Chain A
């Protein structure tokens, strides 16, 4: 019964008084592993290694969230659109990013700036992506940022001074980075974007102390390598790793999604499943070897990257405890996998989809006929931008619900002759005419984590680009594309608080506490807004 969980909400969470903005943070790997024990901090992109975006903080809760007020705001150095940054907060210091690749450290109590670092960028090539950045990672005394021109940079957490700067890949041919690094014991993992430029996808791992590359795993095979038979005679291209991964310290496995094969919408030259695009890869971080993979969308032609952040959680299936992985895919299906083995457990649509009859016993889609793009345009749901995109869902271990910002929108998918020149033209071979405006809508949906069945929804005017945040206060925070920031009852979806921020929200909200006070932060337009109780 859910009611039993309501009892402790009235008691303010006891927050350790260790938050001293003057002291530089020291974040050993062990702290990151046990980050759930320090809910006042938000130490990794996904809130914890599991990517759950759940905080146990409950000072702000169902009973008092209606009184939430703005505490402080921070405006970016330059006006920015598509600000997709998700801050991290450690020991009272916040590290956020600004488009395209700036890092700023702030006093999280006041928003006062401590330092800012920006790379020197010239003639950036950004094909099929916005020049933005989703966030940093911290390990020991170092903050890690990956830049739009595909460098990985280590900054001193106290001063912002550069410790090392490593070239990850060649931006001139289309590699670009917008996603956050994942740091684990002594290592920094980073992926890149660039599938629309027809680059070959990979995941890289660097030594956290020196910036030396430890390994690289390609996400698509070279010609004549195993897996290349799934491409006909085409040179495998695409499968980039442009968003966030997750990590299970016990299994010592990193989970990372891969993007579309190239060219996107014209699959004529690449018959077959196109391994390992639109897949989830489980990788041993010590060796860089793939332990298992699960391909969501074989021979993908709708740009439905499997780049959504994976969410790890533990629950029982048929009475047996399992280590699970929940994945709300851009293709419209919610999947539950066994994260130790990659075994498919279940998968059901969480939005309107018109391309698959369903999934078979192994999770492979049963395709409907005539779903590919055509020269005239073929209407298929979901749209090119997908049922979700880069935003992060959340999972509450209290409600056992998976909260996703679902996008109900279709597209007329178009096909044309692919054209490509390195670093110049995208290799798309088509495009879309989206059924947006009054023909589309968005919704925050609560899905049962183990079955994907919908428990509730809260409808939005337009499909949103805002992730969700679940809290111990029984709340789910998210926002709208129009600019509403709001809190819903995590059990029922009922709106409990809302404020209009005046510009599109396109980021993931985050919560933290400092000096005994809980805050919630989200960006809209060029501004980060921070809220707390009066």
Chain B
């Protein structure tokens, strides 16, 4: 681009002056908005792959840095846009002032295209699905807008987080496709709601879903919602069982149009923001 050539020469001349003195690059705080045209997304992808992928993974799946798939759902547009160029002070995410506002917008557009949200349309009837939800006892374990149990995950915004095919899989084969958390690197991509089986040295069994874990401790929520924090060294059996779940399968109890309706209802739950 011809337009940037002159400022570059001026900047180089400025660099040449002071021994060891750092030239001040003016910090342009212009808000970054997502550029979502196919051309911009493609350009954003190229910049992303060469600049961001080392830490965030080439598909936004995380690396040294956090997972960026669905990041705009979590942080919102304003914050996501700001972080691309300004970084997060005190963290591994440095500022990228060298990237233009336009380029940052292209990266932003590419990040949006990585969102987890599935764009499928559920074919069922939302009102009937709500009935199925009530009759099937889902509220015994799940909470929606403050109503329901706390054994399983809250579903207030489940329609904004998961698409119909994912929800269908979760109802028919709970535990088969568990979501992964969005921490950084070694602290990220752990399976959420992982089923854990333990037996302590006195022979007492505690099973449930993993709430948290470190190298010495496992925290489990059992099928009644009770939390147990256990020292691994105190256990004679400690097994993680991917694929298993405290949630029963609804393969035989919610079928046909009832299943479609339930999925349509869950998909409609977008919460409030």
Task: Answer yes or no: do A and B interact.
Answer: yes
What residue of chain A has the Cβ atom nearest to residue B61's Cβ? Answer: A433
List the A side residues contacting B97 at CB < 8 Å: 123
Q: Is the CB of A495 within 8 A of B233?
A: yes
What residue of chain A has the Cβ atom nearest to residue B190's Cβ? Answer: A437
List the B side residues contacting A418 at CB < 8 Å: 50
List the A side residues contacting B194 at CB < 8 Å: 438
Q: Is the interface of B mostly helix, strand, loop or mixed?
A: loop
Q: Is the CB of B19 within 8 A of A432?
A: no
Q: Does chain A have a CB within 8 A of B237?
A: no
Q: Does chain B have a CB within 8 A of A486?
A: yes
Q: Does chain A have a CB within 8 A of B149?
A: no
Q: Does chain B have a CB within 8 A of A385?
A: yes
List the A side residues contacting B63 at CB < 8 Å: 384, 431-434
List the A side residues contacting B62 at CB < 8 Å: 434, 436
From residue B153, how far is it (CB to closest CB) to chain A in Å? Answer: 18
Bound: A460/B214 CA distance, A:
8
Bound: A123/B22 CA distance, A:
8
In B40-63, the 8 Å CB interface with A consists of 46-47, 49-51, 53-54, 57-59, 61-63
Q: Is the CB of B216 within 8 A of A486?
A: yes
Q: Is the CB of A126 within 8 A of B94?
A: yes
In B48-96, the 8 Å CB interface with A consists of 49-51, 53-54, 57-59, 61-64, 90-92, 94
Binary contact track A421-451/B, C-beta < 8 Å → 1, others 0: 0011110111111101111101000000000
Chain A residues within 8 Å of chain B by Cβ, number: 62
From residue A156, how far is it (CB to closest CB) to chain B in Å? Answer: 21
Chain B residues within 8 Å of chain A by Cβ, number: 45
Q: Is the CB of A433 within 8 A of B98?
A: no
Q: Is the CB of A196 within 8 A of B50?
A: no
Q: Does chain B have a CB within 8 A of A481?
A: yes
Q: Is the CB of B22 within 8 A of A122?
A: yes
Q: Is the interface of A mostly helix, strand, loop or mixed?
A: loop
Q: Is the CB of A484 within 8 A of B215?
A: yes
What residue of chain B has the Cβ atom nearest to residue A458's Cβ? Answer: B215
Q: Is the CB of A461 within 8 A of B90?
A: no
Binary contact track A456-467/B, C-beta < 8 Å → 1, others 0: 000111111100
What residue of chain B has the Cβ atom nearest to residue A385's Cβ? Answer: B64
What residue of chain A has the Cβ atom nearest to residue B185's Cβ? Answer: A436
List the B side residues contacting A320 at CB < 8 Å: none
Query: Which of A44-52, A79-87, A513-521 is found at the contact surface with chain B?
Result: A79-87
Partner of B58, one of A122, A171, A377, A438: A377
In B193-220, the 8 Å CB interface with A consists of 194, 213-217
Q: Does chain A have a CB within 8 A of B20?
A: yes
Q: Which of B47, B58, B242 has the most CB of A within 10 A?
A: B58
Q: Is the CB of B187 within 8 A of A416?
A: no
Q: Is the CB of A151 within 8 A of B98?
A: no
From residue B127, how far is it (CB to closest CB) to chain A in Å? Answer: 39
Given contacts A130-B92, A438-B240, contact A426 B51 (CB under 8 A): yes
**What are 28 sample pairs from A and B whose C-beta atoms fall under 8 A apart?**
A79-B90, A81-B90, A81-B91, A122-B22, A124-B94, A126-B94, A167-B19, A172-B15, A384-B63, A385-B185, A409-B186, A414-B58, A424-B98, A426-B50, A426-B54, A428-B50, A432-B57, A433-B61, A436-B186, A436-B188, A437-B188, A438-B240, A438-B242, A459-B215, A461-B213, A482-B215, A484-B215, A500-B216
Give 15 A-B pairs besides A151-B20, A385-B64, A432-B58 with Cβ atoms closer than 8 angstroms: A81-B91, A81-B92, A82-B91, A128-B54, A165-B20, A172-B23, A196-B54, A416-B58, A425-B51, A426-B50, A428-B50, A433-B61, A434-B57, A437-B189, A483-B214
